[in-house]
Structure 1
């Protein structure tokens, strides 16, 4: 029942929670800092999606692995650290990709929480390239958007390699 309630969090769009989040961070004195942008991914959809992905991974682990660990004298924490967590590298890689992409693509939250230009995030800063009449400087914006996609591409390639290695190292079939 608790899992269904957590999973229902995927149905709530981020825009619905922006006003309560703003009031909470304003009461803590964190508006116009990067702290809301750091903490929001832990509170929103990526954490619900991460919970779902990790749960689905851990329920697919065979019971024989747990039994073998118990025979070897491992406790619950030992089973997690020495058996389950090393096998969870593919799921951790997928969660890392989703969380990074969600954090990188935040647009509404920086507009709401940041007001000084020196603290703007890359998507927010891309809109600041305008000419003297307020029109968009498309050539500069597109060049900057291309450069801003490079870190995402690098993270994806690194995490994808980790994901494939983790699948190959599990040694479990079907």
Structure 2
């Protein structure tokens, strides 16, 4: 039987959670409020939680000093394509490893999992030489192809496999009796049931692509094709020092899509993690 917490205990628990949330909320609050402060007030001590004066010119300077709108679009469409592609590839491969028994499927899956053990720094040089030979340097193709078909998609495949393993086998047996093919079973039965796992994969993949920094620095050199993490480092003065108010304004604009994606998909995200165990 479920025991109802007393109002006093609830108040204590909520108060404790609010206190524990401060270290996580304060940096974001400081970033947003400091983006609206004059430069002289940003590092004032003690820090002002609410600006005494508001200066929104830094947001206009974000777009004036760089093609920030174009860079914003670059990150948005790359993250969207990578997320959709990874969900598709991971769904097919995860279902194959979970539901199709073929010789050596467990050994092959272990080989695939070794991709999680390989740092991106190890493969960046051979990948650069490969894309240079293909004429794809200073384009977005490396930022799309590597996450979808490379090691970053391994974790997504693992999540999908663990979810599909937990599906009752009776569903497939009933579908086969009705004459459905393997592809039809996957597309009409397994995939719709995997929405929580797909939501978890979508959030992880979107965050990874949105925050990607090393690869854009290696592959891209033209500001018009920069992504946001690379663009944030370009707001410097004539002496190479950071323009703090403008950088914080750009960082605030950069963080908005991440917050929106998580708010929209957080329910499915939690369900996906809850249903994705270590079975099998």
For residue 163 of structure 2, what is the aligned residue in structure 1?
Answer: 57
For residue 127 of structure 2, what is the aligned residue in structure 1?
Answer: 21
For residue 117 of structure 2, what is the aligned residue in structure 1?
Answer: 11
Match of 2:200 among 77, 94, 100: 94
Which moves more between the two structures, 152-161 or 98-107? 152-161
Deviation, structure 1 residue 61: 0.6
**Is the Cα contact below 8 Å between 1:9 and 1:45 reproduced in 2?**
yes
Unaligned runs of 5+ in 1: none
Deviation, structure 1 residue 163: 4.4
For residue 173 of structure 2, what is the aligned residue in structure 1?
Answer: 67
3-state DSSP of counterpart to 1:132: coil
Distance in 2 separating the partners of 1:166 and 1:86: 13
> Given the two structures, how large is their TM-score scaled by the length of structure 2?
0.56
Deviation, structure 1 residue 157: 2.2
* Residues 112-169 of structure 1 deviation map (CA, whole Å, 9 limit, x = unaligned): 00011121111111111111221001111112101100011112223334546889xx
Q: Does 1:78 align with 2:197?
A: no
* Residues 60-83 of structure 1 deviation map (CA, whole Å, 9 limit, x = unaligned): 111111122123332222211111
* Higher relative contact order, structure no. (Cα contacts within 8 Å, ≥ 6 residues apart): 2
Q: Does 1:121 align with 2:227?
A: yes
Distance in 1 separating the partners of 2:239 and 2:269: 48
Which moves more between the two structures, 66-75 or 143-152? 66-75
For residue 151 of structure 1, what is the aligned residue in structure 2?
Answer: 257
3-state DSSP of counterpart to 2:235: coil
Distance in 1 separating the partners of 2:151 and 2:185: 29
- Count of residues in correspondence between the two structures: 168
Distance in 1 separating the partners of 2:118 and 2:192: 32
* Residues 50-104 of structure 1 deviation map (CA, whole Å, 9 limit, x = unaligned): 1111111111111111122123332222211111111011111111111111111
Q: Does 1:139 align with 2:245?
A: yes
Unaligned runs of 5+ in 2: 1-106, 276-280
Q: Whose radius of gyration is greater, 1 or 2?
A: 2
3-state DSSP of counterpart to 1:61: coil
**Is the Cα contact below 8 Å between 2:196 and 2:269 reproduced in 1?**
yes
**Is the Cα contact below 8 Å between 1:89 and 1:163 reproduced in 2?**
no
**Is the Cα contact below 8 Å between 1:6 and 1:48 reproduced in 2?**
yes
**Is the Cα contact below 8 Å between 2:198 and 2:272 reproduced in 1?**
no
Distance in 1 separating the partners of 2:187 and 2:181: 10
**Is the Cα contact below 8 Å between 1:87 and 1:166 reproduced in 2?**
no
**1:68–1:158 CA distance, 2 compared to 1 (3 A):** same
